């Protein structure tokens, strides 16, 4: 099996696009959360959203046309282009049949469904345009990336909801380490959608004022959008071309709670098994892990259960391992979230600084770990677990490590 | 040495039969599931699962919250688990090594559209929050996991028409890596008013209401739905359970045309490459393939592309290899069709007979299709699945001897 390096980071998020701006703002504790602007939120009891502002897809599309694809695909192509540029690779030097795409999403292109219903309501079913359907199935997102960049290798979407980014990076890692691909663009993308908003609003899960993961007074999550794409390639190939290596992918673990469609297992059963499997596959133990990128949505249940899971698996060591949630700044970018968090983990390993959980004020007796409150911290992490949990009881943990040349 | 992955159970529900035996009888009888729709009323032609009564397998409880795709997935996973002797119904908690890899294309399109429609027409504060979880694309897999106590990996795979084959390969790899003990793998797709209308608006469905793979007068697909899941295990695990596995999951190939996300690339580069990779990964050559299960569904461009790919890989050998295009029987079941085709391939190998292609009269491309069953002798069957999003996949199944 080959070792797998992360050599390019591209992303577009509610706090900014591109590796440098994202990292600068993330470490400064910037917030991308504001009043929803892409639809009228006055019909909802809550109004916060984490949208990507001022996004101009024409800046990123060379081959595809923005009007011929949904916003999820546009965001994904933007992240992919930034990732390729960041990595310095020359796509022309790769066998295109061995360069592929692996993406994750929660909803794919939900705005096409919104448009379908808007037309249906205004003009009736027969007025539905013929181009509604072909751009809806979520496989179009990786396919658009393949078309945009001329990639002929494996191409797949893993729509495992809010854990999808980790699943997709994991699949890309598998293809590289087994030698089935030489280059993988792996990540996640989701577009802001009134459907998602309506759902979380009706579940009473959206925070009314702030996103405060792990705080005693936390009141919920904030739906968001974005995309991240990581460049994965064999470590030896990356070294041979003198590439900047941000981090190494050591392994990942996945599991299912098999308990409830929306509520986590109360004892964190699946979350514990996903972390254990990730560590086992990475040949690491809890004693090696020195930072956890939390799923940390900010809902009372998620944060309590994730704390229980980490406490159960790590035992006494749990309190010594810093664990922060960047969703406090970015909101919950759905299927993109764990891919964006994987970018943050890669940068933490590369720069030695871990991002904070902002809006943290009051300790919750049920959440008693080190959540890196409010200030980014220099800790020089060596091994990181990136947690992601999802509807359907899905859990995925990715294990990344610092690479020393 | 890579562990071998074998098939130890089958779950299937389709327009031509529910359950492995019923499906096999339907497929080999030459019948077609194409006919009047119960879902869309007067005049609509589909190959949908008719008279679908999930309670026959799942009992009456807990069905109300499941949409059609979740019901289809729950039924086929129930069958495959029972068939493989791995049902967790009596277990206090499910085996953490047991999981589900489910291919789909539209997932929960009807549920997400309805949920949004309710918000638009009744107001967003009156929608039923219980319906929200059904809007995520992995909802069928999530519901099946809860119903059947599947605690291992629970992936949903979307690769267009190639979803089912990608899912089978993904599952086989997970087993080879030792990340699971036994995995249900395949696909599910529901037919709903949105996909039915959308395909008609696109001009992808047959105006004549017939599905004629490779025929000169083919005029499009007829949409079907259903679910097929194969229970996969490593051969060692299956033998340890006292089974003597017959069917092995062989090599897989995939390639994207990088040409368009909504039109077939009739130069067939990706399709050809996917087939070649699948043979290479199986360590076999074209001469070893005894039967081909084609994903052709009556598309003008798609069938042309597939015929070109097959010809460029197999050359003159193609004149002697029996080909079956089973979508003539169960329709274009989208994300489920790759898995339904794989099941047809599994049956063909076991019976050493290619299934009939329902209603076949003639091919424009000189392929050896037939309205009758075609006997053969051989160990390897090739299944292909190519989509107009540019994604292409091929999978080999082989007899374990």
Considering all CA atoms of chain A, what is the largest pairwise distance in Å, rounded to the nearest integer?
63
Question: Measuring CA to CA, which residue among A157, A147, A207, A161 is closest to residue A187?
Answer: A157
Minimal-distance CA residue of chain A relative to B178: A281
Give a yes or no: residue B389 inside a domain: yes
Q: Is the dihedral of CA A14, A19, A20, A23 positive or negative?
A: positive
Same-domain pairing of B113 and B216: yes
Alpha helix (H) ranges present in A71-163?
A: 71-87, 110-123, 140-149
Question: Measuring CA to CA, which residue among A108, A35, A100 is closest to residue A74?
Answer: A108
Does pLDDT of A131 surpass 70?
yes
Last residue of a domain, one of B240, B263, B293: B240
Residue B206 to residue B359: CA distance in whole angstroms? 15
Minimal-distance CA residue of chain A relative to B255: A153
Torsion angle defined by CA atoms of residues A267, A273, A278 and A284, in that order, rounded to the nearest 10 degrees: 80
Same-domain pairing of B387 and B256: yes
Same-domain pairing of B14 and B122: yes
**Contact of A323 with A354, CB cutoff 8 Å:** no
Distance from CA of A147 to the nearest CA of B (A): 4
The residue segments making up the domain with residue B282 are 251-399
H or E element at residue B193: helix B193-202
- The pLDDT, as a whole number, for residue B1 is 61
Q: Nearest-5° angle of CA B232, CA B236, CA B239?
A: 85
The average pLDDT across A218-233 equals 98
Q: For chain A, say whether B202 makes contact (Cβ under 8 Å).
A: yes
- Residue of A295, A345, A367, A399 with catalytic role: A295
CATH code, B255: 3.40.47.10
Residues of chain A positioned with their CB less than 8 A from the CB of B127:
198, 202
Token pair in block for residue B306: 């597939």
Using 50, 70 and 90 to split pLDDT, how confident is the model at A130? confident
Interface test with A, best of B94, B95, B117, B142 (most A CBs within 10 A): B142
Question: Measuring CA to CA, which residue among A174, A181, A172 is closest to residue A80?
Answer: A172
Q: Regarding beta strands A323-324 and B17-18, do their DSSP bridges make them parallel or antiparallel, or are they unpaired?
A: unpaired
Same-domain pairing of B14 and B89: yes
Same-domain pairing of B159 and B266: no
Last residue of a domain, one of B240, B261, B278: B240
- How does pLDDT run along chain B (401 residues), one tens digit per residue? 689 999 999 999 999 999 999 999 999 999 999 999 999 988 999 999 999 999 999 999 999 999 999 999 999 999 999 999 999 999 999 999 999 999 999 998 999 999 999 999 999 999 999 999 999 999 999 999 999 999 999 999 999 999 999 999 999 999 999 999 999 999 999 999 999 999 998 888 999 999 999 999 999 999 999 999 999 999 999 999 999 999 999 999 999 999 999 999 999 999 999 999 999 999 999 999 999 999 999 999 999 999 999 999 999 999 999 999 999 999 999 999 999 999 999 999 999 999 999 999 999 999 999 999 999 999 999 999 999 999 999 999 999 97
Same-domain pairing of B268 and B235: no
Same-domain pairing of B234 and B264: no
Report which DSSP code applies to B56: H
Burial (CB < 10 A; 0-12, 13-18, 19+), residue B384, is buried
The average pLDDT across A22-49 equals 97
Which of B127, B136, B141 shows the shortest C-beta gap to A202?
Answer: B127
Reply yes or no on whether A211 is catalytic.
no
Q: Domain total for chain A?
A: 1
CB-based contacts of A264, cutoff 8 Å, min separation 6: A257, A270, A271, A301, A302, A305, A306, A389, A393
Residue B398 to residue A290: CA distance in whole angstroms? 46
- For chains A and B, count residue pairs whose Cβ atoms are closer than 8 Å: 245
CB-based contacts of A20, cutoff 8 Å, min separation 6: none
B 151-180 residues with CB < 8 A to A: 151-160, 163, 166, 170, 173, 177, 179
Give a yes or no: residue B245 inside a domain: no
ipTM of the complex: 0.97
Same-domain pairing of B235 and B321: no
Same-domain pairing of B228 and B259: no
Same-domain pairing of B199 and B288: no
- Residue of A155, A211, A332, A399 with catalytic role: A332
Q: For chain A, say whether B309 makes contact (Cβ under 8 Å).
A: no
Token pair in block for residue B397: 């199944």
Q: For chain B, say whether A293 makes contact (Cβ under 8 Å).
A: no
Distance from CA of B106 to the nearest CA of A (A): 5
Give a yes or no: residue B246 inside a domain: no
Q: For chain B, say whether A259 makes contact (Cβ under 8 Å).
A: yes
Reply yes or no on whether A162 is catalytic.
yes
How large a percentage of chain A has pLDDT more than 70?
100
CB contact under 8 A, B198 and A132: yes
Using 50, 70 and 90 to split pLDDT, how confident is the model at A341? very high
Which residues are paired to B161 by β-bridges?
A: B159
CATH code, A70: 3.40.47.10
Residues of chain B positioned with their CB less than 8 A from the CB of A277:
179
Tens-digit pLDDT profile for residues A226-279:
999 999 999 999 999 999 999 999 999 999 999 999 999 999 999 999 999 999
Residue B198 to residue A126: CA distance in whole angstroms? 10
The residue segments making up the domain with residue A172 are 4-401
**Contact of A165 with A345, CB cutoff 8 Å:** no
Residue B22 to residue B95: CA distance in whole angstroms? 29
Give a yes or no: residue B358 inside a domain: yes
Distance from CA of B201 to the nearest CA of A (A): 5
Q: For chain A, say whether B185 makes contact (Cβ under 8 Å).
A: no
Same-domain pairing of B138 and B275: no
Which of B115, B128, B195 shows the shortest C-beta gap to A195?
Answer: B115
- The pLDDT, as a whole number, for residue A316 is 97
Q: Nearest-5° angle of CA A244, CA A248, CA A249?
A: 140
**Contact of B67 with B194, CB cutoff 8 Å:** no
Q: For chain A, say whether B302 makes contact (Cβ under 8 Å).
A: no
How large a percentage of chain A has pLDDT more than 90?
98
Give a yes or no: residue B294 inside a domain: yes
- The pLDDT, as a whole number, for residue B221 is 96
CB contact under 8 A, A392 and B115: no
Q: Domain total for chain B?
A: 2
């Amino acid at each position: 099996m080959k070792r797998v390096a992360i050599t390019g980071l591209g992303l577009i998020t509610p706090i900014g696009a591109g590796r440098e701006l994202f990292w600068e703002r993330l470490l400064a504790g910037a917030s991308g959360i504001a009043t929803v602007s892409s639809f009228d939120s006055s019909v909802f009891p809550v109004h916060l959203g984490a949208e990507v502002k001022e996004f101009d897809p024409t800046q990123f599309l060379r081959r595809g046309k923005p009007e011929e694809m949904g916003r999820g695909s546009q965001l994904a192509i933007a992240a992919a282009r930034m990732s390729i540029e960041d990595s310095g690779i020359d796509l022309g030097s790769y066998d295109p049949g061995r360069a592929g795409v692996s993406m994750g999403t929660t909803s794919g292109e939900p705005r096409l469904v919104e448009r379908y219903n808007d037309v249906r309501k205004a003009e009736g079913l027969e007025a539905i345009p013929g181009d509604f359907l072909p751009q809806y199935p979520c496989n179009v997102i990786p396919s658009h990336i393949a078309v945009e960049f001329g990639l002929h290798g494996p191409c797949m979407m893993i729509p495992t909801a809010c854990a999808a980014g980790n699943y997709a990076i994991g699949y890309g890692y598998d293809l590289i380490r087994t030698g089935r691909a030489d280059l993988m663009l792996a990540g996640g993308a989701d577009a802001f959608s009134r459907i998602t908003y309506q759902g979380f609003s009706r579940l009473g899960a959206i925070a009314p004022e702030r996103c405060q993961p792990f705080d005693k007074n936390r009141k919920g999550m904030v739906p968001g959008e974005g995309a991240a794409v990581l460049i994965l390639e064999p470590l030896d190939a990356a070294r041979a071309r003198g590439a900047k290596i941000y981090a190494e992918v050591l392994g990942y673990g996945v599991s299912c709670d098999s308990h409830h469609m929306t509520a986590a297992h109360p004892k964190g059963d699946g979350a514990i098994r996903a972390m254990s499997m990730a560590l086992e596959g990475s040949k690491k133990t809890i004693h090696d892990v020195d930072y956890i990128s939390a799923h940390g949505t900010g809902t009372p249940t998620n944060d309590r259960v994730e704390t229980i899971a980490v406490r159960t698996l790590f035992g006494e060591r749990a309190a010594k391992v810093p664990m922060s949630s960047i969703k406090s700044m970015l909101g919950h970018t759905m299927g993109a979230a764990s891919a964006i968090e994987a970018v943050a983990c890669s940068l933490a390993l590369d720069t030695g600084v871990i991002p904070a959980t902002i809006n943290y004020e009051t300790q919750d007796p049920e959440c008693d770990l080190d959540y890196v409150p409010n200030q980014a911290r220099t800790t020089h992490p060596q091994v990181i677990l990136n947690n992601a949990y999802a509807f359907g009881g899905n859990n995925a943990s990715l294990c990344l490590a610092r690479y020393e040349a | 040495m890579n562990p071998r992955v074998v098939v130890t159970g089958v779950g299937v529900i389709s327009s031509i039969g529910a359950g492995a035996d019923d499906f096999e009888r339907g497929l080999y009888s030459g019948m077609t599931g194409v006919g009047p729709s119960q879902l869309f009323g007067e005049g609509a032609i589909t190959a949908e699962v008719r008279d679908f009564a999930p309670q026959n397998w799942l009992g009456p409880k807990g069905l109300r919250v499941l949409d059609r795709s979740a019901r289809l997935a729950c039924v086929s996973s129930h069958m495959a688990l029972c068939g493989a002797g791995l049902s967790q119904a009596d277990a206090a908690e499910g085996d953490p090594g047991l999981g589900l890899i489910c291919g789909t294309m539209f997932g929960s399109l009807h549920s997400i559209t309805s949920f949004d429609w309710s918000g638009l027409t009744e107001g967003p504060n009156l929608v039923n929050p219980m319906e929200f979880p059904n809007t995520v694309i992995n909802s069928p897999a999530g519901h099946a996991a809860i119903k059947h106590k599947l605690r291992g990996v629970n992936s949903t795979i979307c690769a267009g028409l190639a979803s089912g084959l990608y899912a089978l390969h993904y599952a086989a790899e997970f087993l080879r890596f030792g990340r699971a003990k036994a995995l249900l793998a395949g696909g599910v797709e529901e037919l709903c008013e949105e996909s039915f209308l959308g395909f008609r608006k696109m001009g992808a469905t047959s105006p004549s209401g017939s599905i004629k793979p490779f025929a000169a007068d083919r005029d499009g697909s007829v949409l079907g739905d259903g679910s097929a899941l194969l229970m996969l295990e490593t051969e060692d695990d299956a033998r340890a359970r006292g089974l003597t596995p017959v069917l092995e999951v062989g090599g897989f190939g995939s390639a994207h045309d990088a040409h368009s996300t909504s039109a077939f690339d009739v130069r067939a580069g990706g399709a050809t490459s996917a087939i070649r990779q699948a043979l290479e990964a199986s360590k076999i050559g074209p001469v070893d393939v005894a039967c081909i299960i084609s994903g052709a569904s009556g598309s003008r461009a798609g069938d042309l592309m597939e015929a070109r790919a097959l010809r460029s890989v197999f050359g003159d050998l193609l004149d002697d290899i029996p080909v079956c295009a089973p979508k003539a029987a169960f329709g274009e079941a989208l994300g489920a069709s790759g898995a339904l085709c794989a099941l047809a391939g599994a049956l063909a190998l076991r019976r050493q007979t290619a299934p009939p292609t329902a209603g076949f009269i003639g091919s424009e491309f000189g392929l050896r299709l037939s309205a009758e069953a075609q006997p053969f002798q051989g160990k390897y069957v090739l299944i292909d699945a190519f989509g107009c999003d540019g994604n292409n996949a091929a999978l080999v199944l082989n007899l374990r001897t």
